[in-house]
A and B are shown apart, each in its own frame.
Chain A
Amino acid sequence: MLIAWRYRERNTLIQKLDPRARWIFLLAVMFSVIQFWDIRFLAFFMGLSLMYYLLARLTWKETRRVWTFVLILVVVIIGINAVITGRGGPTEILRGAGHVLWEAQWVVPGVGWTIHPIITVEKIVFALAQMMRMLTIAILFIPVAFTFNPNHYGVTFRRLGLPDKVAFSMDLAFRFVPTLARDFNLTLDAQRARGYEVEKLEGGLLAQIRKMAPLIVPVTINAIVGAEDIVNAMDLRCFGLRPRTWLHELRYAPRDYVLIGFSVLLLVGSILVRALLRVGDLWVPDAVLRLFGF
């Protein structure tokens, strides 16, 4: 089993940006988009995310798995929402009965629970808005694993204000991964040589989980024993007494300031639009109502 980072250098505009500026942009868009239910605003944010995603130049082959998962999740969640919510959608978003297109009533045999699904025009528009919101956030964050260099997480978050020790902990964690992956493979091979078949664990769920112990315990305990040496070595070198320096230094370029400025503007603008102008709630276009004969 090969454990490898999904990140690789792609020579794209996205990867030329300072990682701090990119995190600020991602968080600003996320906190902006979650304020809106109006599909016109959501279309703007979705376009912005899509542009960012396309600039990352990811291939379908490398993102196919995650997209399958995201699309299934979106369909399932919107499906559950449609079936189990009462009067046409979450009451926080939709008020009133709306324009009913279809309704039914089923009783679950044995327990007598009543399921009363109602499909309304408002609910369809809400489902569309919900889908756009979920996809916008997915589009925005899927490139993270593929475009952020794992070796730069520590310095990035240190320069974003995280304490030195926590940032170094992040840095160290990413450096531990290849060693631990090798240890895991060694342990797996050693246990298989003893007749342990991880793919054919028998028994109920509890027994199966318990039988995972021969794999998890040696890897964990070996790592803890080895870590004591690292603690001692770091203590001997007076770790933590003075601020750290970092091998990789980050420097903002003019384009990073532009991105940060745009991100701040976007977030502040979104907050003001919602708070002062009070626009951005669910909007049902007249054309959609006419389409369904209302």
Chain B
Amino acid sequence: MERKKWYAFGTREVVYSALGAALYGVLSFATNMLALPAAGNVALRPAVCIPMFFGVAFGPWVGFISGFLGNVIGDALSGWGFWFWWDLGNGLMGLIPGFAASMITDYRATRSFVIADLFAILGVVVGMGLASLSEMWVSGVDLSTAIVGYFVPAALTNIINGIILVPILMVAYAAIVGRTGR
């Protein structure tokens, strides 16, 4: 299969970025509204797997736009306003797994799952790390508050959701990837 350059942004990327963002926004809103069960104070936010998966499947720009714009859409649907640094953090959660896209050829292989999960974890750490640390200059919290109050709760749940759901989506995607002929 012909491999595109990682920074390419053609028609396919335009459509999948939009799709990823809309899916992330709708699923975030819908799963919030369903009042899903949670363990302790760790809330389920399964939709975070969408930008990670779109990054892994379609590259970093698609992952970034899915995360960034998806968070904006989710907030627009819920009426939460606009939180630039958290939108950017969500974008990075999709961008970084996108760098794994060129290393993955078989979406069913265990090696691919490991690579995708490792990049997803890195994406969460960088993305939520940036968003949490931004509170130091936006809200004036100190480092320990940024870590305890923002980073740990956000990163922990996103990592758990990502490492479970991204491989499941990869297996499902493997079944249709051959049909597209691209």
Q: Which residues of the partner chain A approach B46 to less than 8 Å between Cβ atoms? A: 209, 212, 216
Interface string of B35-53 (1 = CB under 8 A from A): 1111100101011011001
Q: Which residues of the partner chain A approach B139 to less than 8 Å between Cβ atoms? A: 77, 130, 133-134
Task: For the complex, give the distance between the alpha carbons of A172 and B22 in Å.
Answer: 9
Q: Which residues of the partner chain B approach A24 to less than 8 Å between Cβ atoms? A: none
Q: Among the listed A93, A142, A150, A173, which residue makes an inter-chain contact with B17, where contact means beta carbons less than 8 Å apart?
A: A173
Closest beta carbon of chain A to B101's beta carbon, Å: 15
CB nearest neighbor in A for B22: A176
Let me know if A108 is at the binding interface, CB within 8 A: no
CB nearest neighbor in B for A230: B15
Q: Is the Cβ of A220 less than 8 Å from the Cβ of B50? A: yes
Majority-rule SS of A interface residues: helix
Q: Is the Cβ of A84 less than 8 Å from the Cβ of B145? A: yes
Q: Which residues of the partner chain A approach B70 to less than 8 Å between Cβ atoms? A: 173
Closest beta carbon of chain A to B174's beta carbon, Å: 10
Let me know if A129 is at the binding interface, CB within 8 A: yes
Q: Is the Cβ of A130 less than 8 Å from the Cβ of B140? A: yes
Q: Is the Cβ of A210 less than 8 Å from the Cβ of B34? A: no
CB nearest neighbor in A for B143: A90
Q: Is the Cβ of B84 less than 8 Å from the Cβ of A206? A: no
Q: Which residues of the partner chain B approach A144 to less than 8 Å between Cβ atoms? A: 76, 81-82
Of the 9-residue stretches A3-11, A13-21, A245-253, which lies at the interface with chain B? A3-11
Q: Is the Cβ of A145 less than 8 Å from the Cβ of B39? A: no
Task: For the complex, give the distance between the alpha carbons of A216 and B144 in Å.
Answer: 35
Q: Which residues of the partner chain A approach B77 to less than 8 Å between Cβ atoms? A: 3-6, 145, 177
Let me know if B169 is at the binding interface, CB within 8 A: yes
Q: Among the listed B37, B142, B164, B176, which residue makes an inter-chain contact with A221, where contact means beta carbons less than 8 Å apart?
A: B176
Given known A5-B77, A90-B140, A169-B65, contact A176–B19 (CB-CB < 8 A): yes
Count of interface residues, chain B, beta-carbon cutoff 8 Å? 73
Given known A3-B30, A134-B139, contact A210–B145 (CB-CB < 8 A): no
Q: Which residues of the partner chain A approach B149 to less than 8 Å between Cβ atoms? A: 76-77, 80
Task: For the complex, give the distance between the alpha carbons of A166 and B123 in Å.
Answer: 22
Q: Is the Cβ of B34 less than 8 Å from the Cβ of A198? A: yes
Given known A6-B77, A165-B14, A204-B39, contact A220–B142 (CB-CB < 8 A): no
Q: Is the Cβ of A227 less than 8 Å from the Cβ of B19? A: yes
Let me know if A219 is at the binding interface, CB within 8 A: yes
Q: Is the Cβ of B160 less than 8 Å from the Cβ of A209? A: yes
Given known A184-B30, A198-B36, contact A133–B73 (CB-CB < 8 A): no
Let me know if B173 is at the binding interface, CB within 8 A: yes
Let me know if A286 is at the binding interface, CB within 8 A: no
Q: Which residues of the partner chain A approach B37 to less than 8 Å between Cβ atoms? A: 199-201, 208
Closest beta carbon of chain B to A237's beta carbon, Å: 10
Q: Which residues of the partner chain A approach B10 to less than 8 Å between Cβ atoms? A: 240
Q: Which residues of the partner chain A approach B136 to less than 8 Å between Cβ atoms? A: 90, 92
Q: Is the Cβ of A224 less than 8 Å from the Cβ of B138? A: no
Q: Is the Cβ of B79 less than 8 Å from the Cβ of A170? A: no
Task: For the complex, give the distance between the alpha carbons of A204 and B164 in Å.
Answer: 13
Closest beta carbon of chain B to A12's beta carbon, Å: 17
Closest beta carbon of chain B to A20's beta carbon, Å: 15
Q: Which residues of the partner chain A approach B16 to less than 8 Å between Cβ atoms? A: 224, 227
Interface string of B110-151 (1 = CB under 8 A from A): 000000000000000000000000011111111011001100
Given known A66-B80, A208-B44, contact A216–B49 (CB-CB < 8 A): yes
CB nearest neighbor in A for B179: A225
Let me know if A223 is at the binding interface, CB within 8 A: yes
Task: For the complex, give the distance between the alpha carbons of A205 and B76 in Å.
Answer: 28
Given known A169-B18, A217-B169, contact A180–B23 (CB-CB < 8 A): yes
Closest beta carbon of chain A to B100's beta carbon, Å: 18
Q: Is the Cβ of A240 less than 8 Å from the Cβ of B11? A: yes
Let me know if A103 is at the binding interface, CB within 8 A: no
Which 9 residue pairs of A and B lie closest in terms of their CB atoms, listed nearest first?
A176-B22, A172-B18, A90-B142, A173-B18, A173-B21, A205-B39, A144-B82, A142-B81, A141-B81
Could you list 18 A-B pairs, sorted by A, with CB under 8 Å? A1-B33, A30-B84, A90-B136, A92-B142, A129-B140, A130-B140, A130-B141, A134-B138, A145-B79, A145-B82, A169-B13, A199-B36, A209-B44, A220-B50, A223-B19, A234-B14, A239-B14, A240-B14
